[in-house]
Amino acid sequence: MTATDASLIPVNVVSGFLGAGKTSLLKRVLASEAFGESAVLINEFGDVGIDDLLLGEIAEDAVLLSSGCVCCTIRQELSEALARLLELRADGRIPCFKRVILETTGLADPGPIASTITADPMLRHHLRPGINLTVVDAIHAGDSETAYTVWADQVAAADKLIISKTDLADTDRVDTLRDRLTTINPTAEILGPDAIAQPTTALFRQGPHVARWGAAETRRWLGLRPVGTPAVRESAHPDTVSSFRLRLAGEVDWTCLGVWLSMLLNRHGQRILRVKGVLQVRGGRDPVIVHGVQHTIHPPEHVRDWPCDDDRSELVFITRGIAGDRIVASLDGFMKRVSAYPAPVISHV
Amino acid sequence: MCGLCGALGGEDHWTAHLSVAEQADVRRRQRAYRIGLINTVLRAPRLTLTDFQSSRYVLAGATGKRAIVDDLGGIWQQAETMTGASLDPLDPEFLDGLGT
């Protein structure tokens, strides 16, 4: 079995800042018959776990992680909790489940959760990172972003974003928030409060680590636009989270790119919040999907059924205070000096 | 697993995960090419990298200091520890010095 095997159980993460509505979402999810085969882990910050009380009797099989933020202190505890779930499942002491849902604390950066799974020699043969779902409070988002850097980390890590409490905010505020979310994470799907009121299994469908990708899923996931489409250039304030897209014309030396990216993440992993893209790799028949959250790059996968006439390679970066021009200059200079093959023409679009 | 030292075979870094590398000879060639590229990067800080049983790497300094590392991420951390310098691909001076 490999880490890309679609039979692996996905660990989906529900994150969001304090009071954003994560527990409301989880209560609805657990009350829904559609989510009947779900195991739930709840991470609570502080001595008294509150969220398990709020969930009441709905989540009989929920496991409460009690010693702090998922992002830092309890990675070992998360590994142990996941291993315990698998053991209980194997022994038949809990029903079989086909997904795990992990609710983080409002102060947790969900990025390192994936590495907890993929780096564990036992867990990675049973589990895979699933969807990262982040709930964003329409009322307090601006203040939260200003005061806490983890707010943007949570948005950047998301595959799907749910804007909550839109009924309490005026239209302008919601539109401004939507624009900000798109600036930080242009490829995340943005959902409204209906996703909390009436959640469906589509919320956790199609994680970014399925074994075989099709062209349509890849284009949607990357937000690929027609070639030549002008894009908005990002601002590059030192502490501002922003996103940008690189286009690479010509085949990519995968080995050289891997060496460069591993160096970049070693030095700047805390500020490279997200990398994802599709690459036409030298010597490969199908394009390759790259997907990483902070220091963790998931095993790359080939895209199936990619059209012959589409030879695009694109990389989307979400960074904190690193401008796209610096990344272009670095990758271009590195490939030209190090690779044994002609470097692709790299542009910042 | 190596019978002498117990090292688990096979590299698990994400860069080694493409299915094109499933054939042993292709995998060996890619690994040798990767080591060559890394040595180009390590020339300026006077470090060298060699293969260790196709599963790990040995990083050696100019003074003879050596360390075994598991994967790419470990190589850069160890290289920075051994040289006391930052290996920063965003630094224009570092880029200018590549391969020299």
Helix, strand, coil percent content, chain A, rounded in steps of 5: 35, 25, 40
For residue B42, give the chain A residue with the closest CA.
A338
Domain end position, chosen among A164, A184, A204? A204
Flag whether pLDDT at B21 surpasses 50.
Answer: no
Alpha-carbon distance values, A175 to A133, A139, A185, A192, B33 (Å):
20, 12, 15, 12, 50
Contact A258 B72 (CB under 8 A): yes
Nearest CA to A39 among A85, A76, A87, A71?
A85
Q: How many CB atoms lie within 10 A of CB A234?
A: 23
For residue A21, being part of any structural domain is answered with: yes
* Contact list, B87 vs chain A (CB under 8 Å): 263, 266-267
Domain end position, chosen among A204, A234, A263? A204
Residues A156 and A176 in one domain: yes
Alpha-carbon distance values, A201 to A22, A34, A103, A318, B73 (Å):
16, 6, 16, 27, 36
Chain B interface disruption, residue of A266, A326, A346, most B CBs within 10 A: A266
Distance of alpha carbon B98 from the chain centroid: 15
Residues A67 and A95 in one domain: yes
Q: What is the C-alpha to C-alpha distance for residues A144 and A193, in angstroms, rounded to an integer?
A: 19
Chain B interface disruption, residue of A337, A339, A346, most B CBs within 10 A: A337
Q: What is the pLDDT of residue B66?
A: 94
Alpha-carbon distance values, A281 to A4, A73, A102, A303 (Å):
19, 38, 35, 11
For residue B5, being part of any structural domain is answered with: no
User: The domain containing residue B19 runs over which residues?
Assistant: 14-96
Q: What is the pLDDT of residue A195?
A: 83
Q: What is the pLDDT of residue A311?
A: 83
Task: List the beta strands (DSSP E) in A36-152.
Answer: 38-43, 63-65, 99-103, 127-137
Strand partners for B68: B58
Contact A264 B90 (CB under 8 A): yes
Q: What is the C-alpha to C-alpha distance for residues A196 and A135, in angstroms, rounded to an integer?
A: 9
Host H or E run for residue A338: helix A324-338
* Contact list, B33 vs chain A (CB under 8 Å): 255, 340
Distance from the A169 Cα atom to the nearest Cα atom in chain B, whole angstroms: 41
Which residues of chain A fall short of a pLDDT of 70? 1-6, 44-75, 206-213, 217, 220-239
Q: What is the pLDDT of residue A212?
A: 59
Q: What is the pLDDT of residue A206?
A: 64
Contact B14 A256 (CB under 8 A): no
Flag whether pLDDT at B83 surpasses 70.
Answer: yes
pLDDT in tens, B26-79: 788 889 999 999 999 999 999 999 999 888 899 999 889 999 998 887 899 999
Contact B14 A339 (CB under 8 A): no
* Contact list, B14 vs chain A (CB under 8 Å): 258, 292, 297-300
Closest CB from A260, A292, A300 relative to B18: A300
Chain A interface disruption, residue of B90, B91, B94, B100, most A CBs within 10 A: B90
For residue B89, being part of any structural domain is answered with: yes
Nearest CA to A241 among A296, A292, A181, A188?
A181
Q: Which amino acid is at A255?
A: T
Distance from the A255 Cα atom to the nearest Cα atom in chain B, whole angstroms: 6
Residue with the two structure tokens 């990398």: A275
* Contact list, B38 vs chain A (CB under 8 Å): 259
User: The domain containing residue A227 runs over which residues?
Assistant: 213-348
Helix, strand, coil percent content, chain B, rounded in steps of 5: 40, 15, 40
For residue B51, being part of any structural domain is answered with: yes
Closest CB from B15, B19, B88 relative to A258: B15
Size of interface A-B (CB pairs under 8 A): 93
Contact B15 A259 (CB under 8 A): yes
Residues A343 and A226 in one domain: yes
Residues A23 and A160 in one domain: yes
Alpha-carbon distance values, A31 to A37, A38, A88, A235, A328 (Å):
12, 11, 22, 43, 48
pLDDT in tens, A1-38: 344 456 789 999 999 888 888 888 888 888 887 777 88
For residue B100, give the chain A residue with the closest CA.
A337
Residue with the two structure tokens 């919040």: A273
Contact B41 A259 (CB under 8 A): yes
The number of folded domains in chain A is 2
Q: What is the pLDDT of residue B43?
A: 94
Q: How many CB atoms lie within 10 A of CB B79?
A: 23
* Contact list, B19 vs chain A (CB under 8 Å): 302
Contact B90 A339 (CB under 8 A): no
Residues A226 and A342 in one domain: yes
At A90, which CATH number? 3.40.50.300
For residue A69, being part of any structural domain is answered with: yes
For residue B87, being part of any structural domain is answered with: yes
Nearby residues of A61 by Cβ (< 8 Å), 6 or more positions away = A39, A40, A94, A95
For residue B45, being part of any structural domain is answered with: yes
For residue B69, being part of any structural domain is answered with: yes
pLDDT in tens, A270-284: 889 889 888 999 887
* Contact list, B13 vs chain A (CB under 8 Å): 262
Pairing of the two strands A288-293 and A272-279:
antiparallel
Residues A132 and A225 in one domain: no
* Contact list, B17 vs chain A (CB under 8 Å): 3-4, 299-300
At A246, which CATH number? 3.30.1220.10
The number of folded domains in chain B is 1
Q: What is the pLDDT of residue B60?
A: 96
Domain end position, chosen among A178, A204, A230? A204
* Residue B76 forms contact with A (CB below 8 Å): yes
For residue B7, being part of any structural domain is answered with: no
* Residue B20 forms contact with A (CB below 8 Å): yes
Residues A56 and A86 in one domain: yes
For residue A4, being part of any structural domain is answered with: no
